[in-house]
Chains A and B, each alone.
Chain A
Amino acid sequence: MIEVDDLACKFGDFEAVKGISFRVAPGEIFAFLGPNGAGKTTTIKMLTTLLKPTRGSIRIDGLNPTSHSSDVRRRFGIVFQDPSLDIVLTAMENLQLHAALYGVPRGQRHERIEKLLRQFELWEKRDQVTATFSGGMKRRLEIARGFLHTPKVLFLDEPTLGLDPQSRHQLWNHVRAVNQAEGVTVFLTTHYMDEAERVAQRIAIVDHGSIVAMGTLAELKAQTGTESLEAAFLKLTGTTVRDEAASSADQMRQFMKAWRR
């Protein structure tokens, strides 16, 4: 479903991603782990047509995101690190807006929205404005929205950031249920090792723009001689805290803080 060969991305002199290669099979849940600034989000941006690679090739369902960006965009759903719901609209309106923009046939829209809202336990709250939703509910709605146009791949970029353990647990149960029911390939990044351990069938660990290890949980443990994914991760990437350049969203937050003062 996803084929990546020798993928690289350079920002000036800084090479954020240094020639990575991997394959993700249809219906697989694949975790892409790494410390801050390792190149995870840059890789997702290249896979989802938001950034042009400097080198290498990508195939999503056999199509190149650079030359067939519109076709590729119809084939995937994405949940970003930062919230992207329209908080003035209700849950139902948010999904209707997304369905219309993605060209979900009018006759199927309501049925599909109802199915997903029920699956993600949000049907009772469908007419509530999303500004009143808890963090977990908003995240569930965003993931439901990602599945709305029946994509072949769902990209989840740290979807559980800032959620409590109960919401995280519930959210992954929902993702797994839809993955099994619809056979959607899931490509996720997270900093919570227990989530990757529980959900992912295969895991890639990335550091300084390169993949340092890849395989099943058992393979990674055997490769590093460790007992848990967290221990394997720390053995492969070290224990030094990484500096990360502020993203545009972080820069905006800093600007807003300064503005309020």
Chain B
Amino acid sequence: MNAIYILWLRSQKHFVRSKAQIVSSLGQPLL
């Protein structure tokens, strides 16, 4: 369970630090 949480946290950090991913995830529903 701990390993799953750590890997999830890593994915969140990847997401937050990737501007392109944030822009596309917000922009896609609008489009």
| A interface residues, Cβ below 8 angstroms from B | 86, 88-89, 93, 97, 100-101, 103, 129
Contact = CB atoms under 8 A, between A and B. Distances in A.
Contact of A97 (B6, B17, B18): B6
B20 to A, nearest CB: 12
A88 B17 contact: yes
B28 interface: no
Contact of B2 (A86, A88, A100): A100
A231 to B, nearest CB: 48
Interface of A is mostly: mixed
A100 B3 contact: yes
Interface string B1-31: 0110010001001100110000000000000
Nearest to B10: A97
A88 B14 contact: yes
18 contacts: A86-B10, A88-B13, A88-B14, A88-B17, A88-B18, A89-B10, A89-B13, A93-B10, A93-B13, A97-B6, A97-B10, A100-B2, A100-B3, A100-B6, A101-B3, A101-B6, A103-B2, A129-B17
A107 to B, nearest CB: 14
Task: Rank and list the top 9 A-B pairs by shortest CB-CB distance, nearest first.
Answer: A100-B6, A88-B14, A88-B17, A101-B3, A97-B10, A97-B6, A100-B2, A89-B13, A101-B6
A24 B26 CA distance: 56
Contacts of B18: 88
Nearest to B17: A88
A89 B13 CA distance: 8
A89 B10 CA distance: 8
A93 B11 CA distance: 12
A48 B18 CA distance: 34
Contacts of A103: 2
Contacts of A89: 10, 13
